[in-house]
Amino acid sequence: MTTQKSRIESEVDFCAQGKHVGHLRLPHSVHRSAYGWLPMPIASISNGDGPRVLLMAGTRTSPIDEGNLNREFPGDANGTMTQMIAHYIEEVLMPRCDAMFDFHSGGSSLLYVPSVQIQLEADGRLNPQLKVLADTFACPITQVYPYDDDGPMSESAARRKGLLYFTTELAGAGMVSPVAYRTAEHGIMRMLHKLGVLKMLPDNVDVDPPRTQYVNIDGGQLFCYASEDGLFEPLVELGDWVAAGQPAAAMHTPESPLRAPTIIHFDAAGLVVCKRVPGRTVRGDCLFHLGTPWLAS
């Protein structure tokens, strides 16, 4: 994979000083447009020497091939559209950078307590540099999970390339909230200042945010899933602390209004870090995800 030459072309010269915006040109030759390409927005800001940071955000899946970019690394230069993008990120963009931050939300189906997510080291410790950055970003919650340098997600790709990395889950439900937007904007500014990318913080940035709370999100027992099709009624709120065995949701059957709802219970105790948004639900849909207290060393 690493010897493949990317078929994606950039309109932006990443070596040029100053601010430059343009597109990555993704080859897309189809019936209505032979030899065509699709535009992917990209910006490069350079002002001399210093840390190089890759900031990335987008939708969960591609409208072209329905691929989930964060399950396609290291990608394939000659593969599907999503695989070509993953290959370009890992083999062209990442080697140019010292750190990468991938900004996610819960998509359209999940709503999160605004969170940073960090992969632990192989020995179970938290990289001290990443702890400083997570504390600086200062989401209400920082979620930690086990080491993986061979997975299909962007954090494994970043680890393979030796980059500092974390991702986020900034609310979700396919919407933007004032709280999530402010958390992201101020967190990014503080983090870039801490890394030395910004010489000074804008005057409107909160320089003394509340401390983040660290939780572990690893373990199948921390997920709560729909056991059958139906209409999902949550019985707890986002950010609640719940007990093992506590009722989590009622699944109703509108087609049979006299049928009693099925009650789904939590398998473990913990903090509700995310919940499902849509009411219509099918068996296997994630309803809740819990976090358990984790002490950062």
Residues 200-248: tens digit of each pLDDT: 999 999 999 999 999 999 999 999 999 999 999 999 999 999 999 999 9
Cis peptide upstream of residue 74 (ω within 30 degrees of 0) = yes
148 and 193 co-located in one domain:
yes
**Pairing, β 115-119 against β 164-169:** antiparallel
Q: What is the mean pLDDT of residues 18-25?
A: 97
Q: Name every residue whose Cβ is closer than 8 Å to that of residue 123 and which is 6 or more positions away in sequence.
A: none
3-state secondary structure of 148: coil
pTM of structure: 0.91
pLDDT > 70 fraction of the chain, expressed in percent and rounded: 98
Cβ–Cβ < 8 Å for 31, 77? no
Residue 279 has pLDDT above 50, yes or no: yes
Print the domain residue range for 39.
9-216
Residue 168, strand partner residues: 103, 116
80 and 197 co-located in one domain:
yes
Tokens coding 254: 């509108």
Number of domains in the chain: 2
120 and 259 co-located in one domain:
no
Label residue 1 by pLDDT band (50, 70, 90).
Answer: very low
**Average predicted confidence (pLDDT) for the chain:** 94
Residue 2 has pLDDT above 60, yes or no: no
39 and 169 co-located in one domain:
yes
